Structure 1
Amino acid sequence: MPSHIDRIAVIGAGIAGVTTAYKLIRAGYEVWLFDRHPYPAMETSFANGGQLSASNSEVWNNWTTLLKGMRWMFSPGAPLLIHPQPSWHKLSWLGEFVAAIPSYERSTETTARLAIEARAHLKQMAADEGIAFDCETRGILHVYKSRLDFDHARRVTEILRRAGLNRRAVSASEIRNIEPALEGNFYGGFFTESDFTGDIHKFSNGLADACRRRGIKEMLGHQVLALEAGREGVRVRYRRTDDRGQTAPVEEARFGQIVVCAGVHSRHFAAQLGDRINVYPVKGYSITVNLPEQADRDAAPWVSLLDDDAKIVTSRLGSGRFRVAGSAEFAGFNRDIRSERIEPLIKWCRTHFPTMSTRQCTPWAGLRPMMPDMLPRVCAGSRPGVFYNTGHGHLGWTLSAATADALAALIMESRPASH
């Protein structure tokens, strides 16, 4: 039996890749974890909104979202910004997005079921490995400024209820009781007590530490150049990255299986393996507000919030940090942090938490790997030994623990860990 047959390469060390590697190494496989960065979770899994939110499972595939995107196309600070520059990738993605609109309810329900399952898996991982990640189990509060938006949320709540999620309606006065620090005029809201929050970067690194203890072969700081799948397994060509600009020699290793968890780069790798995974990079922004003074800590909320009108989510990350994230920008692989996209997040903080200082505020932008139907791809490829766990979009933190478990089960069904 070739030595590489039970060796698995996981491409990408974000939240999807690290959770996948962890599940596989616990199942008894020899796992190599590749990433071009020298540390785990340095791209989209670095500074997201922090919410583990089954209550935010509504997919975007509806005409309202599309029309808003068209209307806001020339508004630089809009919550949803589709840059008018055409590309075949963007146009094909938008065409498939429209084609998925009839599946809106079914996709939302599927996502919610997966999110509910994922919460249990993630909590178990954290308990088994002793991972501290600034977890706050205070629920998530969705707030609405108009009756129209509230009524839409009521219809979404019914879909979530069919998936098994309890999300209850709350009045404006109840909103103030749930989160006294929040200021503003709201028509009403919905509160999901079972949702929670945490620092995705801390969790990913804590789980990577657990993988190290269990014997993973870390290939961090290695750029994957090419993938090739054939009858004798999967060949990975890679090169060590060097911050000094020196070119390292190309190396090669063979594996029995490969799992592509490469986020927005998954489309590129899938094409090399003979598959089409139409991930599009949708940029999201966040700010991390440091709370150095007791007055700032008292003024910041502890309950996680989602302002549906502004498309903004928040999480309290321990006593000294407040994360605010939002917006969706279709601009290809551009990672620039644009001031006109950050300013609405800061303004929102000053509006709703006026006594909380935003003097110490760190901006960030990341590219979410989104599929047109908003559902992650957890599947086998067209060639033997090829698998995918990617395309989680804005819910990678929420869904990854469940998709990693499903992917590991799929591999175990295809080839047992021992012979």
Structure 2
Amino acid sequence: MPHILILGAGITGMTTAYALLKRGYRVTVIDRNRYAAMETSFANGGQLSASNAEVWNSWSTVSKGMSWMLRRDAPLLLNPTPTWHKYSWLAEFLACIPNYEDSTVATTRLAIESRRHLFAMAQDEGIDFDLERRGILHVYYDREGFEGAAKVNELLKKGGLDRRSVSAEEIRSIEPALSTKFFGGFFTPSDSTGDIHKFTTGLAEACKRHGATFVFDADVLRIKAGDQVSVDWRPTNDSKSGSTILNGDAVVVCAGVGSRQFAAMLGDRVNVYPVKGYSITVNLEDEKSKNGAPWVSLLDDRAKIVTSRLGEDRFRVAGTAEFNGIDRDIRSDRIRPLTDWVRSLFPSVSTSRVVPWAGLRPMMPNMLPIVRQGKRPRVFYNTGHGHLGWTLSAATSELVSDLIDSSCLK
């Protein structure tokens, strides 16, 4: 059977590897880290959220971003220091605003399809990832926010999502831990949450059982594609070491924010930009904190914060979008709004033990993942999933596998 090389061992790389293995391909996964799921798939918000399928390409997003530019704690922060990549990406982002509605509907449909494949993977392979199928609740503090969300809801419903409006009283019945007064909200019972790191590492182990080979701690130096594909690599952070060449029949680039660099090696343009997000994992060490933290997943639209309950003793809170290039530094002024939000909405939850994290979302200007064949033969892409990597990955992995099937490799 053909041998497929996969660049990237995050959620997209692992779902792609699994889909190809199930179709009978030989698979080798290459990653610069020592283990799977060590970057953007490590500690995200934990939501499997078709209800968050609205793309960001809208004038309201631009307006909010401009108004937040001077706030260091703003939900969306743009470093104004000019770089060609950043401003060319932003120009393309603005050019995609006319496609906002169609892109949102398409993303919704893809998210709904993806959950079917993802749950099947977890069930077939016995992956325990703190899954909670309690739905996702979006909350709004005022009429203006609620009515804006109602317009978005029409697009989500057009994409096939069952999502209903709820009153302030219904919000409290859905999640009793919420005591804050809200104007109203929207509830999506079919959405769910879990630990993406547990899922991805569990899927990596399943791929090993199905025969996949992993090459970790690998810094890719060159990629060539012709009659076959070759990946030239050496051990990460070891510039004195000699390189090793891996050969295969095709390559799939699933490398998150690294995909742009790999695409350039292959003569393609994949305009992924790294949009940093932050999260905190609150350790619930006493009964008061465990009882005071919500079980239903939340999205606070005003603060741009999402939450997930990861078992009895962990509470994940994530948010913010920072345009600052390849920068993985964890800034205290960006973590503080997350901690303050927990203290404000859930005062009985102790934040004495909080684990901060930052990761880089691989965003395309149109906010849609790129799933296509490259200019050169035997080159494929499954990347650029942005803030919905986990939500969309199981479906896009099937799509790229279909492309490989139809390329006459078998």
Alignment TM-score, normalising by the size of structure 2: 0.99
Aligned match of 2:184: 188
Name the residue aligned to 1:235: 230
The AA in structure 1 aligned to 2:184 is G
Post-superposition offset of 1:316 = 0.1
Tell me how far 1:171 sits from its aligned partner: 0.3
The answer (yes or no) to whether the contact 1:16–1:389 under 8 Å persists in 2 is yes
Deviations 1:53-107 (A, max 9, x none): 0000000000111122122112110000011101000010000000000000000
Question: Which residue of structure 2 aligns with residue 26 of structure 1?
Answer: 22
The equivalent of 2:379 in structure 1 is 386
Give 3-state SS (helix, strand or coil) of 1:164's partner: coil
Question: 1:199–1:317: 8 Å Cα contact kept in structure 2?
Answer: yes
Name the residue aligned to 1:272. Answer: 265
CA apart distance, 1:356: 0.6
Look up the match of 2:41: 45
Give unmatched runs, 5+ long, in structure 2: none
Aligned residues: 410
Residue 50 (structure 2) pairs with residue 57 (structure 1): no
- The reply on whether 1:248 has 2:241 as its aligned counterpart is yes
| Paired residues of 2:249 and 2:409 also in contact (CA < 8 A) | no
Asked whether 1:361 is paired with 2:357, we answer no
Q: Distance in 1 between matches of 2:354 and 2:371?
A: 36
1:343 is aligned to 336
- Corresponding letter in the other structure for 1:181: A
CA distance in 2, matches of 1:264, 1:246: 22
Q: Which amino acid aligns with 2:406?
A: E
Find the partner of 2:144 among 140, 145, 148. 148
Aligned counterpart, 1:413: 406
The secondary structure found in structure 1 opposite 2:391 is helix
For the aligned residue pairs, the C-alpha RMSD in angstroms reads: 1.0
The whole-number CA distance in structure 2 between the counterparts of 1:263 and 1:246 is 23
The 5 A counterparts of 1:13-412 are 13-230=9-226, 232-241=227-236, 247-412=240-405
State the 1:246 CA deviation. Answer: 7.1
Distance in 1 of aligned mates of 2:382 and 2:164:
32
Distance 1:109 1:259 in 2: 27
Check whether the contact 2:363–2:384 (CA below 8 A) recurs between aligned residues. yes
Q: What is the identity, as a one-letter code, of the residue corresponding to 2:233?
A: Y
Amino acid at match of 1:55: S
Structure 1 runs of 4+ aligned residues shifted over 6 Å read: none
CA contact (8 A) 1:222 1:238 kept: yes
How far the C-alpha of 1:227 sits from its partner, in A, is: 0.9
- Cα deviations across residues 204-226 of structure 1 (Å, max 9, x unaligned)? 00000000101111111211111
* Secondary structure of 1:281 counterpart: strand
1:97-139 deviation digits (Å, cap 9, x = unpaired): 0000000000000000000000110000000000000000000
In structure 2, what is the Cα distance between the partners aligned to 1:60 and 1:376?
A: 13
CA distance in 2, matches of 1:381, 1:246: 29
% identical aligned pairs: 61
- In 1, Cα distance between the equivalents of 2:220 and 2:27? 16
Tell me how far 1:253 sits from its aligned partner.
1.8
Shift of residue 247 of structure 1? 3.4
SS at match of 2:406: helix
Cα deviation for residue 142 of structure 1 reads 0.2
Report the more deviating stretch, 251-260 or 40-49.
Answer: 251-260
State the 1:340 CA deviation.
Answer: 0.7
Unmatched tracts of structure 1, length 5 or more: none
Partner deviation per Cα, 1:340-385 (whole Å, 9 max, x = no partner): 1000000000010001101010000000000000000011011100
When normalised by structure 1's length, the TM-score is: 0.96
Letter in 1 for 2:267: G
Contact 2:28/2:213, CA 8 A, preserved across alignment: yes
SS at match of 1:414: coil
My pick for the range that moved more, 134-143 or 405-414, is 405-414
Instruction: Provide the rounded CA distance (Å) in 2 between the counterparts of 1:32 and 1:64.
Output: 43
| CA deviation string 1:249-289 (max 9, x = no partner) | 10112211100000001011101111110000000000000
Alpha-carbon distance in structure 2 between the residues aligned to 1:233 and 1:68: 48
| SS class of match (2:62) | helix
- Partners in 1 of 2:191 and 2:248 — Cα distance? 38
CA distance in 1, matches of 2:277, 2:196: 15
